[in-house]
Structure 1
Amino acid sequence: MMTPSLPKSLVDNPRLNQWVDFSHPGRATVRSGKVEIGQGILTALRQIAAEELDLHPDQIDLVAGQTDSCPDEGFTAGSYSVSVGGASLRLACADVRRLFIQAAAARLGCPEADLSISDGTIVRGGHPTGLSYWSLRDEVSLDRAYSGEARPKEPETFRWVGHKMPRLDLPAKLSGSGFIHDLHFPDMLHARVVRQQRRGRHIVSIDERALARAAGQPIELLRDKDFLAILGTSESAVYHASKRAETAVTWEGGESLPSDFGSIAWLKSQEAIRRVHATGKPDADNVAHTISAEYSRPCLTYGSIGPSCAYAVFADGKLTVWSHTQGPAVLREWLAITLDLSPEQVTVIHAQGAGAYGHNTADDAAFDAAFIAMRRPGKTIRVLWNREDEFSSAPISPAMVMRLSADLDKQNRPLNWRTEIWSPPHVQRPGLNGNSNLLGASAIEGAPPLKPIDDLPHERGGGATRNSVPMYQLGHFQLTHHMIPLTTVRTSSLRGLGTWANVFAIESFIDELAEHAGVDPARYRLDLLADDRARKVIEEVCRMSDWFGRPTEIGTGSAKGLGFARYKNIAAYVAIVAEVTVEEDVRVDQIWCAADAGLTVNPDGAENQIEGGIIQALSFSREKLPFEDGAVSARSWRDYPILRFSDIPPVQISWTGSPYDPAVGVGEASVGPTVAAVANAVARALGQRIRRLPINRETIMETLLGEG
């Protein structure tokens, strides 16, 4: 009964014993390939499993992201953890429960309908039968494929799902032991890798004496072509030597970035692969007006609070790696390929890091540790990145240009809508385009040349084109994607990929169309939306913010702005109203949010995700990665300021969804609408639109002076 409508993780991992076993009395071991990266997924998965297995959550031992025992669910990304990973686990657990009820009914000689399960024990007519998961485990083989015959529970019967539960991962983190950085192994060697800074850069010389003096304690160097690591038993000694390496190691060559890298002119001048997607039939006969506008966003960096860390040990022909990677199984495959091992020789164990908002350097650190470990067998290697390397060598979120044009009818409704996007790719995770995309692997002897680089296909959610298709009613839509196959620097995934730039552009443009029509922006949107759930979140956020009660006066320095989107047009609906004050700079005074994610497994976790996306989006709206002398010039938070805690406004969130609708992703859903709402609020406060991000004092002054 396997059908294409099943969630991908279950299609890829159909056997029930990949998900559940009862090998420990009184407990269930539940496995997941989705990993905890700060989104609270472990808590939600435990609730799902407890619900469908009729267990107390405390009876569940959840194992996630271990390649030797857990299902391969690819990357934990794209807001799929609950909608795909959780949905797969739900179905698998429901099937497991069905099998044990069948076995108990056969043993007792009674109808299955007479039986139920309470905390793992079989109950008949409210009375224990003496049977349980554990007493029947030898009679019920879970080494079988999912049958599709079990019916998951309905929301009205939920005991655990839909209720707030404390996060599983927080106690250890709050007590100082919950992060990968806190792991410790006997006979551990600390390591720092001296970075190339630019692709193709080569080591010319190493002043080993200077490094030894800086360390002050014994260290050793491990070099393979342009891969250079400093090792020692003292973390402090290795750190000081790595700092000295900035001047003690001489490099030459490498690919430099142009002085105007990431600018609108640079993006439009690059050779690109042009792809066109279109829907509907153009209407040229009823066009009354045509309006066009161009928007842009700069390059951003990842900017995780904690630098990347990894551990590895190579012993008895087996490599074990601990990493805060988002894709343990994918990392395992590419470590095997780059290190000339079989996948069976490699085990990757996920250990939690300091949050993950896209493709960070966790996989790079894992390669570093693994490569060194294979040259120091029997020793556990701990690699920690420097903050400077996190800025200079991490993947970059690429700059984009979005040109929008709409033909309007006499009622100022869009007949034909055209979008053009110029952007490098947003996805260069390990394995994409057949490249390892591991920084250290490109520096060693025999590293293969890069294969042609492309973006995630539009049909699979897109990279630069993600959320480029408006949800509004349009007669004809045409998208032209100018994909720039950049190789000079790694550009890759940051929360939402191209979503928040595209939503910023679409929602800014919708406001401009509403202004042209002389219609309130919220009413204009509602008039163009047929989706009731979309309309409901907009109506709810307008109610929350008193949007219609206190109209904004344009150009007074203080105003509200609205932004809306459904993430990837398949996940959560989010509408945001931002209230801003523009004086010497932009201050966001208040955020209101209405969201619909269908069934929310853990409402507290879902709310944290929405609020976290809002806060990060407020930072995105003012961030810009600096470049100098052909490379990234940021080295610290002084060079790349992010939102401060003191800048975070009050945030109110309201949920409009139904538990009878499928759970959909929330992790990236609020980012685009937030940036758009701020941009629209600033435009109304100033009486002039800012079409070029970041929204800061410099951009505002350039726009007001006609230079933007």
Structure 2
Amino acid sequence: MSHQDDFVDEGRRHFMISGALFVAFSMAPGAKLFAQEVIADEGAAVHVSKETQALAGSLKTNPMLDAWIKITPEGKVTVFTGKVELGTGVRTALLQVAAEELNMAPALITFLTADTGASPDEGLTAGSHTIADSGSALLNAAAQVRGLLVDAAATHFNVDGATLVANNAVIRARDGRMMSYGEAVGLVNLHRSAAPTSPLKDPKTFRVIGTSLPRVDIPSKVTGGVSYVQDMALPGMLHARVVMPPVYDAHLTAYDEATVMKMPGVVRIVRNGSMLAVVAKGEWQAVKAQRVLSAGSVWTNGRALPDPHTVHRDLKVIATEPIKIADHHAPMPPAVKTLSAQFTKRYMMHGSIGPSCSVALFDGTQMTVWTHSQGVYPLRDALAEMLSLPKEHVRCVHVEGSGCYGHNGADDVAAHAALIAAAMPGQPVRVQWMREQEHAWDHYTPAMVTEVKAAIDANGRIVDWNYALWSSSHNERIVNAGRLLPARMLETPFVSAPSTPMLQPEGGGDRNGIPLYVLPNIYVMNNFSPTMPLQTSAMRSLGAHMNVFSIESTMDDLARMAGVDPVEFRLRHLDDERAKDVIKLAAKQFGWPRAPRARNRGVGFGFARYKNLMGYVAVAVEVSIEPETGQVTLEHAEAAVDCGQIVNPDGIRNQIEGGIIQSASWTLHESLQFDTQRIRSFDWGTYPILRYSSAPKQINVHLIDRPGAPFLGAAEAAMGPTAGALGNALFDASGKRVRDLPLAGDSLRKLIEV
């Protein structure tokens, strides 16, 4: 079996189960490929009802057991999830969860991720919800399926089910009789709703959960194998490149079709309104044709962009929807010291390493789209609306994307691919954005302003906390066709759904806007802007990065005013014992408090519980500063994490390490460059990110495992605490409190010089 066949076998095997036909076949010898699938029947989405409210995780919305686990009469076990792999290792972790409760070796299970033709509808893979929602669902679904199979075997053998042992898809009795899962499934109907309670194993007996199973997605990535949607190659596949407007709301008035059509390999130009693309036989032919087509295109002026120098002032004007998210008061001693501060954050981009890409094939009736979207079902619905097709005639299959997280261009390029494929039935079309398109047409994370006024009493206790934030939307996910960029460019354009705020406790711009600390008098206002000067949407942690940075910077300043060590000050204001545990562990591993340090070196601490309902993370860091340049280097970080029951320790460490590095890049360096005419951050030279040469010298992640406790999401939990710790370390090193992100660079140099 070839390596490419291995990939297909891992991702999409062929089987016939429960009346649904799945077909996988190779398309061309020696060509890079993905399995093509046809499914005869699709399950309808199941909405939350009173009957399913008590179920675990995503079983609430997908309660049927065979939506998650299918077993053939031959004993082949296939497990499904509606979540997707974004490079976080969740495919491996979810496989571990299912394998544990099925009592099977992970290698014996075929594990399939989000596909509107096969998997349960779990909405988006976002917000660190995957293990909490899908993991909880799989844990319980697998336990119930195992229990049903064992009960069926017990009845068949006429023995007590407690005397049977299920292992690797075989059920054995003490007298030597045995029955495979395939035989047992013929005695029980798995097409049934999950029960509120499950025969879960004792966590003390876990053999798969809690182990660092090697990630199943890594081998092909490190060996240059077929790993991403960018790698897809189907027989007869054409390559397309799109021409994007120079600025928002510009409309196409003319283009040079004749010149482009004479170029080698060019097959067709597809135009619908201002949606313009060129299709060629080869990828490089498409790239060259796109350049010529773009140069010969004429556009209207479009609309002006905001003045970058007044963005934060203007944000307070356009944020017209005040939302009070905390307001409670209690008698307290009088305040003796008060602190007021304002913090700002600029627009930032996703900066996906691999430009967004999609492949689509329309057979005249059925549209199939391979996509790295984080939500294949919402995308399927929007594409069906855009194409005027029934939902059942559109299928979105997730294939991992290089550099995909948050709401980048994945959905938009999928719409481009679908529109072009619809114009060319029977021919698979691959579309990949150019680097400047990935940057200039990103869904940026919004600029923000936060203000805090806090007071302490004579005993150093916080007696008053008043916090406000201003932000436009952090969530313009796909809820209708109008949220797809190409759909708004058509001759008959679709209109985007109105921007609406995300409500607490999840929150959008106000995520983690309410501190976890004990604050008897607290008032928090989210000032939401329903309009967006720049196109914005979700990026890792949403508003938590900025809010925790602001809160943790203030906590350090209040501790200094109170004359109390910053770590001790935090502990005094917490009644959550798990929060205290991670803070104490991070401080201990870091050696807090540190002895006096060399000049231009400082240490800092940060803490938060993500969304106040997911993983706890505390981070202690040491930084160095070059006063002459404003360069800041994260020298060392120690992080402590509590995310409940740990599924894959190495996976969690990977995510926390990656989160610390990415947060360091955001906090120290990243800022979108633009002027009133257009976006100026069109390549890596105009959008600085953390380089390998500036990577932290040392990061250590310490885990607190709580066997049997609920899974808590951790993938995004390090972003805010790291930002807070960096800001506090910078103050310790320089004596300057920097409240405007990014912290490093020329602005810091000038501040130090004062």
TM range (shorter): over 0.9
Residue 456 of structure 2 corresponds to which residue in structure 1? 408
Cα offset for 1:24?
6.2
Query: Is 1:532 matched with 2:577?
Result: yes
Question: 1:605 aligns to what SS in structure 2?
Answer: helix
Residue 110 of structure 2 corresponds to which residue in structure 1? 61
Question: 1:423 aligns to what SS in structure 2?
Answer: strand
Residue 132 of structure 2 corresponds to which residue in structure 1? 83
| 1:527-576: CA deviation from partner (whole Å, max 9, x where unpaired) | 111111111111111111111252558xx311100011111111111111
Asked if the contact 1:574/1:670 (under 8 Å) is kept, the reply is: yes
Residue 632 of structure 2 corresponds to which residue in structure 1? 586
Query: Is 1:222 matched with 2:270?
Result: yes
| 1:206-230: CA deviation from partner (whole Å, max 9, x where unpaired) | 12344356x4433421111100011
Structure 2: gaps of 5 or more residues: 1-49
CA distance in 1, matches of 2:732, 2:414: 47
Map 1:134-173 → 2, pairs under 5 A? 134-173=182-221
CA distance in 2, matches of 1:293, 1:686: 18
The one-letter code matched in structure 1 to 2:670 is E
Residue 265 of structure 1 corresponds to which residue in structure 2? 313
Residue 644 of structure 1 corresponds to which residue in structure 2? 691
CA distance in 1, matches of 2:432, 2:316: 38
Map 1:536-575 → 2, pairs under 5 A? 536-551=581-596, 556-575=599-618
In structure 2, the CA distance between the partners of 1:552 and 1:527, relative to structure 1 (3 Å rule), is farther
Question: 2:295 aligns to what SS in structure 1?
Answer: helix
Asked if the contact 1:31/1:70 (under 8 Å) is kept, the reply is: yes
Asked if the contact 1:259/1:630 (under 8 Å) is kept, the reply is: no
Cα offset for 1:120?
1.0
Question: 1:679 aligns to what SS in structure 2?
Answer: helix
| 1:470-492: CA deviation from partner (whole Å, max 9, x where unpaired) | 11110022111111122443210
User: How many residues are aligned here?
Assistant: 699
Residue 617 of structure 1 corresponds to which residue in structure 2? 663
CA distance in 2, matches of 1:121, 1:436: 51
Map 1:143-542 → 2, pairs under 5 A? 143-176=191-224, 177-212=226-261, 215-260=263-308, 263-281=311-329, 283=331, 286-431=334-479, 434=480, 436-459=482-505, 461-542=506-587
The one-letter code matched in structure 2 to 1:264 is H
In structure 2, the CA distance between the partners of 1:128 and 1:173, relative to structure 1 (3 Å rule), is farther
Asked if the contact 1:574/1:673 (under 8 Å) is kept, the reply is: yes
Residue 15 of structure 1 corresponds to which residue in structure 2? 64
The one-letter code matched in structure 2 to 1:99 is L
Query: Is 1:595 matched with 2:595?
Result: no
CA distance in 1, matches of 2:364, 2:298: 37
| 1:495-527: CA deviation from partner (whole Å, max 9, x where unpaired) | 100011000000000001011111111111111
Aligned match for 1:634, one of 667, 681, 694: 681
Cα offset for 1:447?
1.6
Asked if the contact 1:219/1:237 (under 8 Å) is kept, the reply is: no
Aligned match for 2:99, one of 9, 27, 50: 50
Question: 1:300 aligns to what SS in structure 2?
Answer: coil
Cα offset for 1:244?
2.6
CA distance in 2, matches of 1:111, 1:656: 38
CA distance in 2, matches of 1:450, 1:146: 37
Question: 2:251 aligns to what SS in structure 1?
Answer: strand
Map 1:113-152 → 2, pairs under 5 A? 113-125=162-174, 128-152=176-200
Residue 29 of structure 1 corresponds to which residue in structure 2? 78
In structure 2, the CA distance between the partners of 1:701 and 1:282, relative to structure 1 (3 Å rule), is farther
In structure 2, the CA distance between the partners of 1:241 and 1:629, relative to structure 1 (3 Å rule), is farther
Question: 1:266 aligns to what SS in structure 2?
Answer: helix
Question: 2:177 aligns to what SS in structure 1?
Answer: strand
Asked if the contact 1:10/1:88 (under 8 Å) is kept, the reply is: yes
The one-letter code matched in structure 1 to 2:615 is A
CA distance in 2, matches of 1:660, 1:107: 32
Cα offset for 1:198?
2.8
Query: Is 1:606 matched with 2:657?
Result: no
The two structures have a TM-score, normalised by structure 1, of 0.96
Cα offset for 1:129?
2.0
Cα offset for 1:128?
4.0
Cα offset for 1:200?
1.7
Cα offset for 1:245?
3.3
Asked if the contact 1:255/1:488 (under 8 Å) is kept, the reply is: no
CA distance in 2, matches of 1:341, 1:210: 34
Question: 2:739 aligns to what SS in structure 1?
Answer: coil
Cα offset for 1:448?
2.8
| 1:129-183: CA deviation from partner (whole Å, max 9, x where unpaired) | 2212111222111111002342211210101110011111111222321111111
The one-letter code matched in structure 2 to 1:512 is D
Question: 1:506 aligns to what SS in structure 2?
Answer: helix
Asked if the contact 2:55/2:196 (under 8 Å) is kept, the reply is: no
Residue 657 of structure 1 corresponds to which residue in structure 2? 705
| 1:635-668: CA deviation from partner (whole Å, max 9, x where unpaired) | 1100001111121111011112322321111110
In structure 2, the CA distance between the partners of 1:272 and 1:435, relative to structure 1 (3 Å rule), is farther
The one-letter code matched in structure 1 to 2:690 is L
CA distance in 1, matches of 2:297, 2:522: 54
The one-letter code matched in structure 1 to 2:446 is P
| 1:281-330: CA deviation from partner (whole Å, max 9, x where unpaired) | 15476232321111111100010110111011111411111001100111
Aligned match for 2:718, one of 670, 674, 677: 670
CA distance in 1, matches of 2:489, 2:533: 14
Identical aligned pairs, as a percentage? 36
The two structures have a TM-score, normalised by structure 2, of 0.90
Aligned match for 1:98, one of 135, 147, 159: 147
Structure 1: gaps of 5 or more residues: none
Question: 1:303 aligns to what SS in structure 2?
Answer: coil
CA distance in 2, matches of 1:679, 1:410: 26
CA distance in 1, matches of 2:423, 2:691: 43
CA distance in 2, matches of 1:175, 1:376: 35
In structure 2, the CA distance between the partners of 1:303 and 1:683, relative to structure 1 (3 Å rule), is same
CA distance in 2, matches of 1:254, 1:418: 41
Asked if the contact 1:578/1:590 (under 8 Å) is kept, the reply is: yes
Question: 2:589 aligns to what SS in structure 1?
Answer: helix
CA distance in 2, matches of 1:89, 1:219: 47
Asked if the contact 1:197/1:393 (under 8 Å) is kept, the reply is: no
CA distance in 1, matches of 2:51, 2:101: 20
